[in-house]
Amino acid sequence: MTAELVRGQNHPLPRTRLEIRVSVGTPIMVGATLGDEQGRVCGAERVAHPGSPALPGIEVSGQAAADHRLAVDLAALGEEVHRVHVLLALPLGTPGPSRFAAVAAPFVAVTGHDGTEIASYTVTGLSTESAVVALELYRRRGGWKIRAVGQGYAGGLAEMLADQGLPEAQQLAAVIQDAIALGASRSVAAPPPCTSDDARVRTFAPGPAGGTGPADGQLPVTAPQSAVGGAIDYAHPRRRTTAPPPPPVVPPAAPGEPVRPVAGDAGGWSMDERLYNQVWGMFEDLARTTAAYRSAVDFADSRMEQELDRVLSDPHSRIGSAGHQAREQARTKREQLVDRAREVLDRDLAQLTAESEVVEPALPPAYARWDNPVWHAYRAPMELPMALRIGDLHLPERPELRIPMLVRLPLERGLWIDSGRTGSEAAAFMDPDQVKGLALDTAVAVAARLLAVYPAHEFAVQVIDAAGSATARLAPLTGAGVLAAPPAAGASGVAEVLARLTRRVDLVQMAVRGGAGADALPPGVDTAEQLLIVNDFPHDFDDRALNQLRYLADEGPSVGVHLLMVADRAEASEYGPVLQPLWRSLLRLTPVPDDHLADPWVGHAWTYEPPLAPPGSRILEQVLGQVGEARDAWPR
């Protein structure tokens, strides 16, 4: 039976190869420290954290996530290690919670590699703390035991590490937070809970009369909460306060047959919301079933290694027919365990594949690939959808099973399409000009999808092409007449666009803060959502332009200004750490398939496929033509 521990209680560990699973419900950092008999940590090399996730006997996740799996091999620890502390910390400087009182109580489970539960502990009683020592594994009379600790620290990581005697606690805490922030740029954000189909509709700042609806002249606010302070009215005339209707009833399957998948088989007010929730459910199911399979394979390998070690440690059994037979038996057991795990995985993958085959054709344009026939019947929408597909994700266990990568609208963070070859194994051996060209094609495809899903005149795209090198690749946008202005070139063009958008952000923030409506803004201020595509950064960018770009990245999304950078990070290395906050605030995408993104549940490395139109297809130009016609027909 599993021992359900309370704070201070201990329990013996019957084995040395363990898996520690942590579930919180919000992204957190999980780490571990290796201490001496008094629990003191002698140096940073004894701390496993996202920036240094593997130590002898300990491996933690390389990113913040809602669920974690720590691999522990107590037998591999050095003799000087007497205590292992499992640490939890909330990422600082991110939009998420900053203290444990605002999140669900962390749940920690200790299991064997075969999944056999040994002990569990729910860390309760936390309040203002942002870091906590959840568990302690310690030596006792030649064996190991586990203790539920639950010691929180309001001073965060630095205070917790200092309490364990680490001399450079402050510096290491900064390094860890920096690694968490860098990891956030590769993590696909988990979807927020949906309460109605209008949760995605832009909210409005109160107008002069203090009304709650979108009266004439009110300003759209696109972030869930204003980054500039001031009251925001979240009321909406169509927002429902009751529970959404249940998902459609799925006919029961025949005995022994899998459940027949149905498109929209998830909760939600509308079909779009149901499909959105269903896609995220498929994403999570694939992440977790793959994690279970990989864990089972790890257990099979570990068990085989242990059995082979026993055979080789005995001089009488490691030679001759007995030794050969023992080794064959160990390998056979390993193959049997892996085969059983693969059977379960294949069953789950078959079900997910069948669901994908039903869901993909039913997706609306905002969620559909360019090769979906729904685009051939495209017409400009009347209202903003819940989310947008900006690519596909898949895992090596079943590459052909693609999960749509959906991001909520309006965008909550900017995008960076990496036009360099460093940091991407797929692009490392490609011609540099080819990578840059594909990066621009990806930027055009993303911009086209954004233009297509917004109502006419509610979304504008501006381009900075300082060197004028993107003219040919931008032809689908310029030819359809959907850009707000011709691409800006040269230092003067860069300065003019950035100054105009920075002024827009300032004015709208002041209006929101003061409760004023759109009619209070100066003439000529475009209140539509804005996407700024920046190509060839940092060409013709001076220090002032760089600061304005960082300002737009930080403050722009809350008032409808979004960045799409097409840049090679190596080319901007001359700025050094000045650009780190900018890169961290953007979601990195690659113009070629690359396994650089991570899910928010178990942190698999997912291969990202950019949303490019099929070769030879004219669907992107056709859709942009429809967008241009809708804009021309809009009443002026």
Averaged pLDDT, groups of 10, the chain, 636 residues long: 87 90 88 92 92 89 83 90 95 79 91 84 92 94 92 93 92 88 73 46 35 42 38 34 55 65 85 92 92 86 81 70 81 92 94 95 96 94 94 96 95 92 81 94 97 93 95 95 94 96 92 79 86 93 92 92 93 79 88 90 89 95 95 79
540 closest CA partner among 576, 575, 486, 494:
494
Q: Which CATH number fits domain 412-627: 3.40.50, 2.60.40, 1.20.120, 1.10.3210?
A: 3.40.50
Measured CA to CA in angstroms, residue 275 lies from 268, 380, 493, 604 at distances of 9, 20, 42, 23
Report residue 554 as tokens: 């930080």
What is the structure's pLDDT at 421?
83
439 dihedral zone (left: phi>0; alpha: psi -120 to 50; beta): alpha
pLDDT at 580: 80
Q: Tell me if residue 302 falls in helix, strand or coil.
A: helix
Q: What is the pLDDT of residue 232?
A: 32
Number of Cβ within 10 Å of residue 173's Cβ equals 23
Q: Rounded CA gap, 185 and 608, in Å?
A: 14
* Cross-strand pairs, 145: 12, 138
pLDDT at site 325: 82
pLDDT at 571: 85
Query: Shortest CA distance to 70 belongs to which of 58, 84, 81, 83?
Result: 58
Q: And the tokens for 114?
A: 């075969």
CA distances for 608 relative to 288, 593, 630, angstroms: 18, 5, 32
Residues of the chain with CATH 3.40.50: 412-627
Q: Can you give the pLDDT at residue 230?
A: 35
183-212 exposure pattern, b = at least 16 Cβ within 10 A, e = fewer: bbbbbbebbeebbbbbbbbbbbbbbeeeee
The CA–CA distances, whole Å, from 120 to 8, 18, 240, 431, 540 equal 13, 13, 39, 52, 57
Q: Are the C-beta atoms of 123 and 108 separated by less than 8 Å?
A: yes
Phi first, then psi: give them for residue 481, nearest 5 degrees: 70, 35
The predicted pLDDT at position 229 comes to: 34
Chain region(s) in the chain for CATH 2.60.60.30: 3-184
User: Distance between CA atoms of 522 and 518, rounded to whole angstroms?
Assistant: 9
Q: Rounded to two decimals, what is the model's pTM?
A: 0.75
* Number of other CB atoms surrounding residue 12 within 10 Å: 12
Residue 204 in tokens:
């409005």
CATH topology of domain 3-184: Lipoxygenase-1 (2.60.60)
Pair 70, 20: CB distance under 8 Å: yes
Distance of CA 20 to the CA centre of its chain: 22
Which residues contact residue 219 at a Cβ distance below 8 angstroms, ignoring those fewer than 6 apart? 204, 205, 508, 511, 512, 516, 517, 518, 527
